[in-house]
C-alpha cells in the first residue's frame, strides 16, 4: 500500500499557490501525515501549524522540517480535542487532505464546528477528499466508500493508510462524497473551485489522483 513518503505534496494545493488563489498567510494543515504539504506551504512563506493523529507521522514530519530548515509547528493529537493553546487561530488558510476524507458522516457536524472556530473570515478551506465514484461524470451521484487494500487494511482512495487514533473511522464507516454532497456540506462557504483531481504524470513531484475531489472554498467576511 502506498505511503505518504512515496509521493510529493498535493498537486491541487501547489496549483492554488502558483495561480495566486491563496497567498502566504497563517495556515493550518489537517491530517498532515509526514509533512509534505505543510513544508511546501512553509517554504513559500506561509506560517504553518500542522496536526496529525499519528505520532510516527508527526515525528517523521518534524525530522524532515529539521533537515530542510523549514519552520512548521507540528502537533500530535486529535484535532477535535486540541484547544486554542495549540491551534492559535484563526487561520487564513485551512488545508485538509487527511482529516475530512476519513471521517464518517456523523462526525461532519463536529468538523463544521471546528472549521468555524479555526477559519478566519475571508479565509480559504482547501479540501482534498475521496470521490464517490471515480468513473462517474463530475456531478455523478453514484454511491461509494473508501475501500480496503489487498492486505485487508483500511485505506483512503489515494492509498494513504487510515489511523484509528483521533476519531478516525474504519473503511466500512466512511463514505466518499459526490460534488453535490460537498456543496451541501459547505453551503455557507463560497465555492472558488471544485473539480476532480487530475492524475499526476509519471515522474511528477506532486501527488494527484482522479479518485479524489479538490475543492477550494472561501469564508466570506
Length of the chain: 221
Q: Residue 119: what are its φ and ψ, rounded to 5°?
A: -90, 125
Q: What is the pTM of this model?
A: 0.80
pLDDT at 208: 74
Count of domains forming the chain: 1
Place of cell 497563517: 26
By C-alpha distance, which of 5, 12, 2, 6 is closest to 214?
Answer: 12
Give the integer Cα–Cα distance in Å for 66 and 48.
14
pLDDT at 55: 96
pLDDT tens track of the chain, all 221 residues? 234 444 688 989 999 999 999 999 999 999 999 999 999 999 999 999 999 999 999 999 999 999 999 999 999 999 999 988 888 889 999 999 989 988 988 899 999 999 999 999 999 999 999 998 654 433 333 333 333 333 333 333 333 433 333 444 444 445 788 999 999 999 999 999 999 988 877 766 787 788 899 999 999 98
Q: Supply the CATH number for residue 127's domain.
A: 3.40.50.150
Give the integer Cα–Cα distance in Å for 149 and 169.
15
The residue segments making up the domain with residue 28 are 4-218
pLDDT at 38: 97
Amino acid at each position: 500500500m502506498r505511503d505518504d513518503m512515496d509521493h510529493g505534496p498535493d498537486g491541487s494545493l501547489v496549483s492554488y499557490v502558483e495561480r495566486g488563489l491563496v497567498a502566504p498567510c497563517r495556515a493550518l494543515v489537517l491530517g498532515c501525515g509526514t509533512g509534505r504539504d505543510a513544508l511546501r506551504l512553509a517554504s513559500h512563506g506561509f506560517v504553518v501549524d500542522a496536526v496529525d493523529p499519528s505520532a510516527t507521522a508527526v515525528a517523521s514530519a518534524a525530522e524532515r522540517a529539521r533537515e530542510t530548515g523549514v519552520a512548521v509547528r507540528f502537533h500530535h493529537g486529535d484535532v477535535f480535542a486540541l484547544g486554542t493553546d495549540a491551534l492559535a487561530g484563526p487561520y487564513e488558510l485551512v488545508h485538509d487532505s487527511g482529516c475530512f476524507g476519513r471521517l464518517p458522516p456523523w462526525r461532519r457536524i463536529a468538523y463544521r464546528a471546528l472549521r468555524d472556530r479555526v477559519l478566519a473570515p475571508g479565509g480559504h478551506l482547501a479540501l482534498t477528499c475521496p470521490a464517490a465514484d471515480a468513473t462517474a461524470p463530475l456531478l455523478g451521484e453514484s454511491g461509494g466508500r473508501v475501500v480496503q487494500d489487498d492486505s485487508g487494511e483500511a485505506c483512503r482512495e489515494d492509498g494513504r493508510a487510515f489511523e484509528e487514533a483521533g476519531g478516525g473511522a474504519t473503511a466500512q464507516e466512511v463514505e466518499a462524497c459526490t460534488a453535490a454532497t460537498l456543496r451541501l456540506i459547505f453551503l455557507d462557504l463560497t465555492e472558488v473551485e471544485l473539480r476532480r483531481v487530475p492524475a499526476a504524470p509519471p515522474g511528477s513531484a506532486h501527488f494527484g489522483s482522479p479518485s479524489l475531489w479538490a475543492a477550494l472554498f472561501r469564508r466570506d467576511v
